[in-house]
Structure 1
Amino acid sequence: MKLATIPAHLPFLDQLAIRWIESANHDVEAIGEGIIVLPGRRAARALTEAFLRHMDGQSVLLPRIVPIGALDEAELGLSAGIGGELALDLPPAVASMTRLAVLARLVLQADKAFGTRPTLDQAWPLAKALADLMDEAEWSGVNLAERLPEAVQENFAEHWQIILRFLEIVTQAWPEWLRENGVMNPVARQVALLEAQADLWRKLAQQGDSTPIWAAGFTHVMQPTVKVLQAVLECPAGKVVLPGLDMMMAEETFLSLPDSHPQAGLSALLKNLEITRNKVQIWEGTGKGAGRAAILARVLLPAEALDDWSHPGGAELENVYRLDAADQQEEAVAISMIMREAIEKPMHRVALVTPDRVLAARVATELARWGVLADDSAGSSLVDTPAAVLLRLVAQMVDSRFSPVSLLSVLKHPLVACGFSSGVCRATARLLERAILRGPAPPPGFAALCRVVNNALENLNERAKAKLEGGITADRPFGPVALSVFMQRLAFCLEPVLGWELDAVEASVQTAQDLEQHCAPVPDLLAALIATVERLVATDEESASERLWRGEEGNMLASQLTELMLASEVLPPQPPVVLDGLLTAVLAPERVAMRRGGDPKSLHPRVLIWGLFESRLQTAETVILGGLSEGVWPPVVDAGPWMSRPMRQRMGLPSPEQAVGQAAHDFFASAAAADTVILSSARRREGAPVVPARWLTRLDAFLAGRNGYIPNHPALVWLNKLDQPLGPATPVAPPQPMPPVALRPRRLSVTEIETWIRDPYAIYAKHILRLEVLPELEEAADASDYGMIVHKALERWVKAYAVAWPENAEKKLCDLFSASLQEHVLRPALRAWWAPRLTRIARWVVQAEEKRRSEHGVPRAILTEIRGRVSIMDAPGGKFDIVGRADRIELNADGHVIVQDYKTGTLPSAKDVWAGWSPQLPLEAAMIIRGGFKEVPEHSREISDLIYWRLTGGADPGEEVVVKTREALSLTDLAEQTWENLLLRVAAYDQPDQPYLSHPHPGREPRFADYARLARVPEWNSARKEDEE
């Protein structure tokens, strides 16, 4: 028989090689005669390896092994010899990039006709969808110009007419462009070549040519491939070999399979070949999994045939295991352990088969833990390679007008050096981050950033010296010289794209005229972007080309960008904002092998990672089917952007469910042929619950009905033991650092004393570990900014009108608040929100001042924002300084002192002040008593009032809280008591065994616990709460 099948439980390519060798009677010369046509290049390479395995080391000339997609004039010999009269005069195929560029231009023109104004990054994906539609139609033999109008649905006639008008791109405009340029679609040309190949082989058959021609491994195929297979069957020595045809399924069921069934493609193929299954020869062989394949075939029967489950039969799946992981990471680690364990056996191959590229990348990374570099044959998207990521980051940076986040994303990219060594570039970038980019964002634009840097150089110098003196030298070089040189070098690197800066604004706020005015030819935009990146990646020792374009990734990226620059000459000018989206659309579909830092020569020959296409016709001793979840494997069914399923059916296009059927066949073939199979799925994917693949659900149901089950693989047990500590887990204890007294701070501010009481660990982290809390990048204005505005305005008010009361006091204070507000860089909406609140504060302050003066008279003096210091000379560890800055100190008419503090947030209660939890004002009073504020006269040191002003500007714009005396204790007594407590604390912490505890008083934690994560408070605090309960 000329039509054969290799059972699913046998390794297809090994059996094919064995049968070819046997058909040549093991004659070395005869083995090399003939042609074997396979579906893809990966299968062709794998068949070559299979021949080598079965030739026992003999030297042999192999037959010509040809992927069907590689058939062209050179392979076919159509231009000379016996096929000369059949030679084709075909126009060349249009280059893929050129086709997409021209289609994108047509999309732009068509959308303008519909009244929209898309940009290139929006048009390119539509162009790709149009190209896919044409390819699909040409493989199916569908004339879009004739069949599209027939697909219209009456209920959607108006909507369809709009789509039909848009699709005139592929029915009218594109064919006209092809004729004008003398080229043809790639698939149309491939179809013509396949048909010519079929005609050639038929002619050879008629002339009695007995050259063996085998076509193997095809499942559901398009009509042009069917013609090739029919021609092979007509050849005297021709054979068609099918993979895993189910010969036991009922004929009625086989002929009516839904497209989502794994045998649906083979069923359709036999129909097209006009051959029934009883004409198919079974090539038997030696294998272990015949029973497993039979069970899987019953499990996957269509719904109409499920009554077969009621019949008795085997239910033991030998060497099949389940891996039910909690999430993708656990799944990846477990799979890597299985693969590492498998290669302990000599000559044992292990393969992961998965369409989930994220899972494949995770497994490859985890295998590196075991020193194994896996061959991920499906590769990664070109857009995710380091060089492509850098190109997109630079485009995003210019689009965002050099925002801190986008700028640092570029500067911290591993390839960026700006002409320095990588270490100097990285250290200076971190310095720029800390000195300039942390906190509120600088004004937009590179020029504005340079101005901010220049203004900060003097302050930076002082801070850098202080850090160097404190021993922080990890980020050398410090200082304005290094930073100024760095900014000059950065300006040189960015020079090609700095001209775009004015254009890089949101398209949503631009008019059509603005967009047209600030556009440039796409090749020029790409050239400027590439030139910028090349300048950024060059080091002081290596050129850009050595770093950016090397290796397989760099070569492919350079090739794609070159093709894009040439093809984009046909495109209209575009704004620079399109580059990020354009590069994503162009580079994302391309796949490239990423070795993740490993040497390709170090790839482990027996550890394989395959995508579904790469896995077809291949197997290994151990096969892991990973990512078996709905939406991953099988994939989500998508009818495409242009038409519904019924419309596709009326046009004669393949149904979307065929993709599910092919995925099901991949599952069946991989699970049936290997010696050991692990079926792996995760319960959560990207944090969301997922449903196991329908085939796993069916398998569980089938086995449950026979009191069977699939045992779990022990990999999850291995995983739990892998990182398990030697002893039992113990809750972490609160930190108790006890540094030497010589390292403990000898100077604290009055505001830090409250922190010292509530959270001593924060003092330890800040002053001993010297860990500073970094502001957020692009930090939004918050309550601290509001407080600074209020304090600055009141400081100016008191200094201008301390005793003398001005006319129009409210207006003058409002003007000061307005000026202070304008000095801060704020969002317009926030400025508009704060302005009326500040006006209400001004009104309240004026009223409060007038009330106090009317009740207590005009003060003798008002001091504001003055600094003070008191030294504790007899502290056990040596002199200890208390410093402070008072918001306001008022000397009233009788010579007593009023100490006042402004708050824009929460006020401390009088109870907390007397209890010592909020000691700021009492400590300032104690410093006044001890002459710590030189501006306060010595004879005026009796404390009469401690006052808080809470200034919010809300419905109640202000509130005055006075700390009152208690029984026989005056406020002076409170100040002295607070000072005595401070002396005791200083003495206690001058003892080497006094620890700096974190949050030692439950319920009295500081409002802003900046070092709570460093102290691991959430961990031990939860244990403390459990103990209390």
Structure 2
Amino acid sequence: MSARAAAPVRGRVAVVPPHVPFVDQIAARWLEQAGHDPQACGNGLILLPSRRAGRALTEAFVRQVDGRPILLPRIAPIGALDEASLVLSGQNALDLPPAVDPMRRLATLTLLVMQAGKAFGDVQGVDQAWPLARALAELMDEAEWAECDLCERLPHAAEGDFAQHWHQTLQFLSIVTSVWPAWLAEQGVMNPVARQTALLHAQAARWRDSPPPAGYPVWAAGFSDAVPSTIVMLRAVLDQPDGMLILPGVDMECDDAIWRHLPPDHPQAGTAHMLAQLGVERAGMEIWSSLPHDCVASSPVSRASLLSRALLPAHALERWRERDVPVEADGLSILRSADQQEEAAAIAMVLRQVLERPGRRAALVTPDRALAGRVATELVRWGVVADDSAGESMLTVPQTAFLRLIVQAVDGGLSPVALLSAIKHPLAACGLSPGTCRASARQLERLVLRGPAPPPGIAGLRSALQRATEDPHGALADAPDAPEEISAFINRLETVFGPLLALPRDTMVPVSVLLAALVETAQALAATDTVDGAERLWAGEEGNALGQHMSALLAWCDVLPDSRLGALDGLLASSLAGMTVHGRRAVRGRDGMAAHPRVFIWGLLEARLQTADTIVLGGLVETVWPPATDPGPWMSRPMRTRVGLPSPEWGIGQAARDFVSCACAAGQVVLSVAARRQGAPTVPARWLVRLDAYLAGHGRSLPVHPALRWLDSLDRPEGGVATPVSPPRPCPPVGLRPRSLSVTEIETWMRDPYAIYARRILRLRRLADLEELADAADYGQIVHAALERWFRAHPSDWPAGGAERMQAVFAEVLREAGLRPALAAWWAPRLDRIAAWCARTEEARRATGTPRTVLTELSGRMRLEDLPGGPFTLRGRADRIDLHDGDGGLSLFDYKTGTLPLRRSVVEGWQSQLVLEAAMIECGGFPPPVAGSVSELVYWRLTGGHVPAQVLDVARGEELAELIASCRAGLRALVSAYDNPDQPYLSHPFPGEEPRFADYAHLARVAEWSAAREENGG
């Protein structure tokens, strides 16, 4: 990319200063040279860098003539050449082979990448190879734009001290660069960029040999950088009798010594290189600084000078100290937000505020598509729909998400989260009405998919349904849509997912078969009772674009090797990466609102040559704007230099040029930067850092935009003071309060009364999590079930070989649980250690003559009379009760597989389950032969770890008797307190004694009022 000297040109070159609206100036000057004759104005050609620039220039002509009828000149992007005119002039443009279909090219390159990967021992799937093929295609395009012969230069790219893997990569690239041209010739096609380059050279040759007649002006406008083929075209334009080149925002103040040595990441580097290639000196260029009729300056004249001085290259920074340097930042302001969401909300307020003034236009310019989407969503809050001219990524449109969710559901064995994501998608209907489908999906979720995940596949859903308990409130919750009968709905799912379910998940299948099965499944799942699935799935601009993509993928995927079903999701994602669509979703909001005519969202390409009254430059952080300087997976930076490819910093230079031009395209410009992005701290864009440093050196700074204060005021309550929410204090009538609770609920009642209110009075049940990790719960159930089975079989005797036989019982219960193999293998040795410890402990107890009989899993009751609200019943189930000979009393045990309670908590009544069971025994609450007093309260913590068990002996003798009496009195006092209608059911009333698991904390809004309590020291 060195700027070699070139022969001078004879055409005119003009510069439009940054403060002058560029397209309006072009339109005005064109009308002036045509004498404002409506017919003569249509004589000529204006070449522009892009189609978007062409549309902007057309609108500028309309503004200049104030709507009067006029013939427009031919306005064309430089790539849109008329091949027919080349043929008529004797150029053999149509003899060029057609361009290869992009999808065909990527599919073939993917095959080559996979074949070469096998040769190098690096076998990859089609989903992994496709992105590498895309990067390889981009490398080819870049080389062809730079007119660099990879076949000739690649062999020498890694000569010298390079890592071995780069030599292997170059060996692979050499294979592709030799095989690929042969394949193109065999197929009779060309690379698209190679063909475009050839057409540009052909057009330039035609103009040299047969120039347009005198009086036919040819202008090239808006170019700030150019590849060699474009340089040839611009030179051909300047060689015409009426040829002219009009450039935007050339820095005319930069010293020649600095201009000749601009680094590639400088905003003017591309323009300097282009002018050097054309042989144009800045001193000989015209300056069109006068404003067109009825136009105002897009920005203060001094702003371009300020930015030019602040962004000087490193070797020229001593010029910051010169006298009379520009330091006025009129119209510039900075918006420093905390994160992406705050940035989006603040930007939306800036744009919304501009619309308060009639006729004012506002725009957001950003390369960050996520930020653009957030701002568009925030604007809808005020009923403003922004036209996002950059379009929407094909990866985010609903149809693409629907296809990928289907693949993920089938590849995941219809796991709960993946299956519900697919069947709850707005496009899903399963041959029913959409409402009925969603109601059926919610019923399936409640009855089958909540809790531990069922086994994979349709069979797993049916087996889980057999174990499920019908929800009597399920159908009522979905009114007005009634769900289909659950078994019939599962059968329907088996039918619609059938094409994909019929494919083996771990076997190689032709990619065409995978894609065809996916399309068939998606159409069946999208079908309603009245509309065909294909009609719904491929409707609209987004559906049509996706349908064309899938058709091309199906047409050319036959060259790809067989793949597994799991690779299909990655193939869709990688093949759609970088594709956009400008559909109705981009220009219409909710309720079909049309896009607002005065607010815009532009990408960097769309923003070039555009103006507005207020522009926000969003996402000004490193790796976003400017982008990361990634040389790609195929070549390192030094290798690219040897081959002759431009360095990645040229992309930074173009991003810098976009920054400067956009910063000069409006009277009011807001520079927006978020302190955090995706949870991680950000680095402000280098241009902001430069600008801050430059202004700070002169005692100045960028003014802070007030949008964050507006945002704070927007969400501030009336009066300006936020009042923390108070904890809930429900006081239901005594008649609705529970008169019977279990011993475990008593602990909940003490620690979190609100949970008792929600569960027993409001009758609300917490839904189990999807794909719940039930490891701890299953573990406790297995331990309890094994000990119950053992002691029911041996209540009073101890068989020979008891340890081995107990371990066999534990293993049997584990097998019956039907757990996944990995979890069963993890628990088996732990259960063995628990069984061995229990056997040793029990043999030691039996050796001393106790117990006489072991009773397990007994249920009991205790009734409290003479209470204000009437009798109260306590229920409980004891894990183990030991009966002793004579008057030795009873031993009461509780098994724990989780945390062992603290003795202090048991004595103080916070964990009173075992003590309450002892009180029930002494009140005769358990059936015979359980009777008498309790002499021992014991907790066994059975974990099976390095220390397999722990024992907590709570109390004995007189201390135990006092504890039981105190607990009984405390229970009576607790019930009496809540028989008072003024006693509220508070949530977490005792800080430090909150429950470990709070199912109703979200309902009680604990996180809100507890934070306020902590701030106030409560």
- 1:975-1004 CA-to-partner distances (Å, cap 9, x unmatched) read 454333323322321222111122223333
Partner in structure 1 of residue 160 of structure 2: 154
* Equivalent of residue 296 in structure 1, options 307, 324, 332: 307
The match for 1:64 is: 74
1:866 equivalent to 2:869? Answer no
Is the contact between residue 620 and residue 671 of structure 2 (CA under 8 Å) also seen in structure 1?
A: yes
Match of 1:231 among 232, 236, 251: 236
The 1:130/1:953 distance shift into structure 2, 3 A limit, reads: closer
Q: How does 1:160-179 map to 2 (within 5 A)?
A: 160-179=166-185
1:804-953 correspondence to structure 2 within 5 Å: 804-857=797-850, 859=852, 861-872=853-864, 874-894=866-886, 896-936=889-929, 940-953=931-944
* 2:8 aligned partner: none
* Equivalent position to 1:391, from 400, 403, 406: 403
* Offset, 1:54: 0.8
* Deviation readout 1:744-790 (Å, 9 max, x if unpaired): 22321111111112221221122223332333332334333221111
Query: Could you tell me which residue of structure 1 aligns to residue 253 of structure 2?
Result: 248
Alignment check: 8 A CA contact 1:134 1:170 kept = no
Q: What CA distance in whole angstroms lies between the structure 2 residues aligned with 1:963 and 1:86? A: 100
Q: Distance in 1 between matches of 2:165 and 2:743?
A: 72
Distance of aligned partners of 1:865 and 1:304 in 2 relative to their CA distance in 1, 3 Å threshold: same
Q: How far, CA to CA, are the matches of 1:318 and 1:156 in structure 2? A: 51
Name the structure 1 match of 2:498: 495
Give yes or no for contact 1:950–1:958 (8 Å, CA) kept in 2: yes
Pick closer, same or farther for the CA change 1:589–1:169 going to 2, 3 Å. farther
SS at match of 1:474: helix
Query: What is the letter of the counterpart of residue 60 of structure 2?
Result: A
Which of residues 733, 748, 770 is equivalent to 2:763?
Answer: 770
Q: Secondary structure at the match of 1:887?
A: strand
The residue number in structure 2 matching 1:519 is 508
2:530 counterpart of 1:541 = yes
* Alpha-carbon offset, residue 69 of structure 1: 2.0
2:384 maps to amino acid: V
Alpha carbons 1:106, 1:169 under 8 Å: kept: no
Which of 677, 684, 687 is equivalent to 1:692?
Answer: 684
2:543 matched to which residue of 1? 554
Structure 2: how far apart are the matches of 1:323 and 1:571? 49
CA contact (8 A) 1:72 1:193 kept: no
- Structure 1 residues 334, 232: CA separation in 2 closer, same or farther (over 3 Å shift)? same
Q: Given residue 276 of structure 1, which amino acid in structure 2 is its aligned partner?
A: E
2: CA distance between counterparts of 1:976 and 1:480?
54
8 Å contact kept, 2:46–2:76: yes
Identify the residue that residue 186 of structure 1 maps to in structure 2.
192
Distance in 2 (alpha carbons) for counterparts of 1:911 and 1:524: 67
Distance 1:276 1:700 in 2: 32
Distance change >3 Å, CA 774–CA 30, structure 1 → 2:
same
8 Å contact 2:461–2:490 — kept in the other structure? no
Q: Does residue 1:331 correspond to 2:356, yes or no?
A: no
Which residues in structure 2 correspond to 1:980-1019 (within 5 Å)? 980-1019=969-1008
1:13 is aligned to: 23
Distance 1:601 1:776, change over 3 A: closer
2:317 equivalent to 1:282 = no
Letter of the structure 2 residue corresponding to residue 546 of structure 1: E
SS in structure 2 of the partner of residue 677 of structure 1: strand
In structure 1, the residue matched to 2:366 is 354
Pair 759,159 (structure 1): closer, same or farther in 2 beyond 3 Å? closer
The equivalent residue for 2:783 is 790
SS of the residue aligned with 1:884?
Answer: strand
Please give the residue correspondences for 1:209-220 in structure 2 after superposition, counting only pairs within 5 Å. 209-220=214-225
Q: Distance in 2 between matches of 1:102 and 1:977?
A: 82
Match of 1:713 in 2: 705
Task: Report the more deviating stretch, 682-691 or 86-95.
Answer: 86-95
Give the C-alpha shift of residue 415 in structure 1: 2.0
User: Could you say which residue in structure 1 is the equivalent of 2:62?
Assistant: 52
Q: Distance in 2 between matches of 1:713 and 1:1026?
A: 31
Does residue 753 of structure 1 match 2:753? no
Q: 2:170, 2:808 → 1: CA distance?
A: 64
Matching of residues 124-163 of structure 1 within 5 Å: 124-156=130-162, 158-163=164-169
Query: Quick check: 1:388–1:557 contact (8 Å CA) kept in 2?
Result: yes
The 1:668–1:797 alpha-carbon spacing in structure 2 relative to 1, beyond 3 Å, is same
Aligned partner of 2:7 in structure 1 is none
Does the 8 Å CA contact 1:289/1:673 hold for their aligned counterparts? no
The residue type equivalent to 1:40 in the other structure is S
Within 2, Cα distance between the matches of 1:297 and 1:334? 28
Q: CA offsets, 1:478-515, max 9 Å, x none?
A: 99972111101111110010123x424xxxxxxxxxxx
Q: Distance in 2 between matches of 1:481 and 1:943?
A: 55
User: Percent identity among equivalent residues?
Assistant: 54
CA distance 1:615–1:948, change in 2 (3 Å): same
Contact 2:851/2:882 (<8 A) preserved: no
Match of 1:79 in 2: 87
What CA distance in whole angstroms lies between the structure 1 residues aligned with 2:315 and 2:120?
A: 48
**Relative to 1, partners in 2 of residues 1:866 and 1:109: Cα closer, same or farther, differing over 3 Å?**
same
Alignment equivalent of 1:624, drawn from 609, 616, 623: 616
**Which whole-Å CA distance do the structure 2 matches of 1:31 and 1:79 have between them?**
27
Cα distance in 1 for residues equivalent to 2:93 and 2:771: 67
Alpha-carbon distance in structure 2 between the residues aligned to 1:47 and 1:274: 27
The AA in structure 1 aligned to 2:226 is: V
Distance 2:902 2:131 in 1: 62
The aligned residue for residue 733 of structure 2 is 740
What CA distance in whole angstroms lies between the structure 2 residues aligned with 1:909 and 1:196?
89
After superposition, the C-alpha distances for 1:923-980 in whole angstroms (9 at most, x for unaligned) are 223333444333446xx3333333333323334433444443464x663x64454333
5+ long unaligned stretches in structure 1: 505-517
Give the aligned residue type for 2:353: E
Amino acid at match of 2:776: A
**What is the aligned length?**
996
Structure 2 CA distance for partners of 1:821 and 1:89, relative to 1, 3 Å: same
1:29 aligns with 2:22: no
Q: Is the 8 A contact 2:390 2:603 kept in 1?
A: yes
Partner of 1:270: 275
2:573 pairs with 584, 587, 592, which one?
584
Note the C-alpha offset of 1:364. Answer: 0.6
Q: Deviations over 1:405-450 (max 9, x none)?
A: 2222222222222222333322332332233223322223332232
Q: Does 1:437 align with 2:429?
A: no
- Structure 1's 1007 and 536: CA in aligned 2 closer, same or farther, altered over 3 A? same
Change (3 A) 1:913 1:649: closer
Counterpart in the other structure of 2:485: 482
Task: For 1:963 and 1:298, locate their aligned partners in 2 and report how far apart those are by CA, in whole Å.
Answer: 80
Corresponding residue of 2:419: 407
TM-score (norm: length of structure 1)? 0.93
Query: Secondary structure of 1:226's partner?
Result: helix
Closer/same/farther in 2, CA of residues 1027 and 662 from structure 1, 3 Å limit? closer
Deviates more, 1:87-96 or 1:173-182: 87-96
Judge which range, 866-875 or 810-819, deviates more.
866-875
Question: Partner residue of 2:203?
Answer: 197
Q: SS at the partner of 1:45?
A: helix
C-alpha distance in 2 between matches for 1:980 and 1:305: 87
Within the candidate set 795, 799, 804, 1:802 is matched to 795
Specify the code of the residue in structure 2 equivalent to 1:264.
Answer: A
Matching residue's letter, 1:696: L
Query: How far apart, in 1, do the equivalents of 2:422 and 2:527 lie?
Result: 14
Q: Which runs of 5+ in 2 are unaligned?
A: 1-10, 292-296
